[in-house]
Structure 1
């Protein structure tokens, strides 16, 4: 019986804008600067402030699509090694989230882990989350942090600081061709 949370029913959202935000954060991290670049933060704040409700929902859906795609890539990589993505990704993810005390509230961590597990089992993180009600303001930073941590994990695994961005960009390019 198909699940109503199956990824085939999920809206993709604005994957390009979500990827732009994650890539910008990754570049800031890799530049070696401590903290958030104030100019970059101002640009991000201006962008998000310019979004109407529909565009904001599209950005959230886009971030969930990134999470799904990153987890699927990790799942395939772990299957190639005969390991379980949940076993190897979730503990480090939880540890990282717990260290992000200023951005991530502890009570939101189980929801973000649930989204990763949903994606690892082929379910849409967004549809899985929405079955529990509307998104909360506390979840927005955590959602971005989830996508960021997964992208950074992929980049670390591959030894390529642009790999996670590139796999999404290539997937978007291929989908435009189809």
Structure 2
């Protein structure tokens, strides 16, 4: 029996824009710039301010799609080693989010843990979250941080600072060719 949170029912959103934002944050982080780099924040603020409600929703859905795809890759990688992705990824993610009190409000962390667990068990993060009502402002930074931390986790596992972004870019390219 299929779940109402099955990814086949989820909107993909604007994965390209979400990936661009995550890639930009990763590059800044790897270049040693502060996560709250004023120039980077201004560009992000300009982008988000230019979005209408539908485009903002597409960006959120796109970020949820990234979370799903990152967790899918992590799940497969962990299963290859007889490990459970939820057991090995979610506690580290939660600990990292807790260390970001200026960016991530504490009340958003349980939602991000649930969202990541949903993705790790094959459910759509956006549909899982949707059943609890509208997104809150506090969850926006937390969602971006979650996608960023998952991508960075993949980069550490693969010892390749571009692997997660390249993986998604290649998936987008191949889906556009189909």
TM-score category, normalised to shorter length: over 0.9
Measure the CA separation in 1 of the matches of 2:44 and 2:108: 22
CA distance in 1 between partners of 2:38 and 2:88 (Å)? 34
What TM-score do the two structures reach when normalised by structure 2? 0.98
CA contact (8 A) 2:25 2:35 kept: no
* Contact residue 64 and residue 126 of structure 1 kept, 8 A: yes
Which residue of structure 2 lines up, in the alignment, with residue 42 of structure 1?
Answer: 42
Which residue of structure 1 lines up, in the alignment, with residue 52 of structure 2? 52
**What CA distance in whole angstroms lies between the structure 1 residues aligned with 2:36 and 2:107?**
24
Structure 1 equivalent of residue 89 of structure 2: 89
Q: Equivalences for 1:60-79 in 2 at 5 Å?
A: 60-79=60-79
In 1, Cα distance between equivalents of 2:145 and 2:98: 11
Aligned residues: 178
Distance of 1:128 and 1:80 partners within structure 2: 26
Which secondary structure does the structure 2 equivalent of 1:113 belong to?
Answer: helix
Determine the structure 2 residue equivalent to 1:13. Answer: 13
Encode CA deviations 1:58-88: one digit per residue, 9 max, x unaligned: 0000000000000000000001111110010
**Partner secondary structure for residue 51 of structure 1:** coil
Uncovered stretches (5+) of structure 1, i.e. residues with no partner: none
Indicate how the Cα distance of structure 1 residues 129 and 35 shifts in structure 2: closer, same or farther if over 3 A, else same.
closer
Contact 2:85–2:120 (8 Å) recurs in 1: yes
Runs of 4+ in 1 over 6 A off after TM superposition: none
RMSD, aligned CA? 0.8
- Give, in whole Å, the separation in 2 of the partners of 1:60 and 1:25: 16
